[in-house]
Structure 1
Amino acid sequence: MTGVRGPAVTLSALLLLSACGVPAQDEPHPVVLPRQPLNATASAATAEPAGEVAQVLCLTRDERLVETVRRSGVPLRPQRQLDLLVTGPTPAEQAQGLSTALAATALTVTVPAGGATAAVEIGAPEEGAGRVVEALAYGQIVCTLTARTDIAAVTFLRNGQPLQVPDGDGAVTGGPLTAADYRSLIDPP
């Protein structure tokens, strides 16, 4: 009986290993991986200098949203990123035709502990600001904050009350917004 036992144990082991739930395939197939956030840890092939963190800011050019990357020694807090949006483009970014629709706008962001939806308190809009400029301004905020790994959506407040804002198609909403809501305004990379 011991002569039959060895092959039986081997056969049983092979059957158990092959029954892991993954079907066999005759040919390889492509795997589509999700887009990795720009501020995620870089692989050795695309290693950044030690201590540098990529920070995405969404600026504007020709009534379109344009993602730009700035580097810093440490990850920026969400409030600091909004302050940079209000300050506007650097001289090098201005030379590329980039600007901001948020000049002189008062912004305060809060993200509840353990939450992924940021609430942005926004001051009154400039007099005569059109719907496109307004959508660009809100789009800049949403696209910048949701490019972070810790923020998935953004809501807006004025004087502590929920604010109805335009999305990229001009529809007005008071719900949480993501970069996908401004897809029509974002220039392709």
Structure 2
Amino acid sequence: MTRRLVAVLVAVLLLAGCGVPADKQPRSVEPPFGPPAAPAASSAPGRVEQAFCLVRSGQLVRTVRQVDTAGGVDGHLRRLLAGPTRAERAVGFGTALPGAVHVLGARLVDGRAQVEVEPPGEESGRSDEVLAYGQIVCTLDSRPDVTGVSFLLRGRPLEVPRADGSLSAGPLTAADYPALTGPD
């Protein structure tokens, strides 16, 4: 019995000595891009946090907003389509959506967000469609109830650009846009 207790104490002391040494000063840690592992706790009573992918310096960057209710995929998408808030614009966030993708609505079907779009007019002159589609995919993919995002044009699957330039009918996730993702 005593021998076993000594062995356990020695093992505990050895394990306690292992690990990462403490830094002398605090350092910032960059979270990975993509959907959070679990919904974050809200800092304001009665509000929830919701992730949005916006554009800064030609890259997709995830930001979190406090909203009154999480709502469904269509409501989440409508908030993205409204563009960056004044505070987000002040720190350099923008959007590639106006003129690049005309969204009619979204719904959740068996875990997949289906986004109905209409083709942009000839006069749009936008060349950043990949960022626009990436914004939608990365925003909706941040939701715990979404396993992928697909796009429909007049009810039929639409192939949209991925970060590598290839076209895909989906389902797409934030992982399809790694070359375009920047730090949070």
For Structure 1 versus Structure 2, the TM-score category normalised by the shorter chain is 0.7 to 0.9
For the 8 Å contact 2:35–2:142, the answer to whether it is kept is no
Q: Which runs of 5+ in 2 are unaligned?
A: 1-11, 20-31
Structure 1 length as normaliser, TM-score?
0.72
For the 8 Å contact 2:35–2:141, the answer to whether it is kept is no
Task: Please name the residue that 1:66 is paired with.
Answer: 61
| Paired letter, 1:154 | V
1:60, 1:36 → 2: CA distance? Answer: 17
| Structure 1 segments (4+ residues) deviating >6 Å | none
Are residues 1:111 and 2:108 paired?
yes
2:89, 2:183 → 1: CA distance? Answer: 19
Q: More deviation in 120-129 or 167-176?
A: 120-129
2:72, 2:140 → 1: CA distance? Answer: 10
Structure 1 residues 90 and 39, CA, compared in 2 at 3 Å: closer, same or farther?
A: farther
Higher gyration radius (CA): 1
For the 8 Å contact 2:148–2:170, the answer to whether it is kept is no
1:152 is matched with which residue: 147, 154, 167? 147
Structure with larger RCO (C-alpha < 8 A, sep 6+) = 2
Q: 1:63 offset after TM fit, Å? A: 1.4
Percent of matched pairs sharing the same residue: 42
Per-residue deviation, residues 143-168 of structure 1 (Å, max 9, x unmatched): 00010110010011111111011101
Structure 1 residues 116 and 176, CA, compared in 2 at 3 Å: closer, same or farther?
A: same
Task: Please name the residue that 2:168 is paired with.
Answer: 173
2:180, 2:96 → 1: CA distance? Answer: 13
For the 8 Å contact 1:82–1:107, the answer to whether it is kept is no
Q: 1:60 offset after TM fit, Å? A: 0.7
Structure 1 residues 136 and 180, CA, compared in 2 at 3 Å: closer, same or farther?
A: same
SS of aligned partner of 2:136: helix
Task: Please name the residue that 1:5 is paired with.
Answer: none
2:134 is matched with which residue: 136, 139, 163? 139
SS of aligned partner of 1:111: strand
Are residues 1:37 and 2:39 paired?
no
Task: Please name the residue that 2:76 is paired with.
Answer: 81
Per-residue deviation, residues 14-67 of structure 1 (Å, max 9, x unmatched): xxxxxxxxxxx985898xxx998376253xxxx623222111111111211111
For the 8 Å contact 1:38–1:55, the answer to whether it is kept is no
Structure 1 residues 39 and 122, CA, compared in 2 at 3 Å: closer, same or farther?
A: farther
SS of aligned partner of 2:71: coil
1:96, 1:76 → 2: CA distance? Answer: 27
Task: Please name the residue that 1:13 is paired with.
Answer: none
1:62, 1:39 → 2: CA distance? Answer: 28
- CA RMSD, aligned part only? 2.6
Task: Please name the residue that 1:21 is paired with.
Answer: none
Q: 1:128 offset after TM fit, Å? A: 2.6
Task: Please name the residue that 1:16 is paired with.
Answer: none
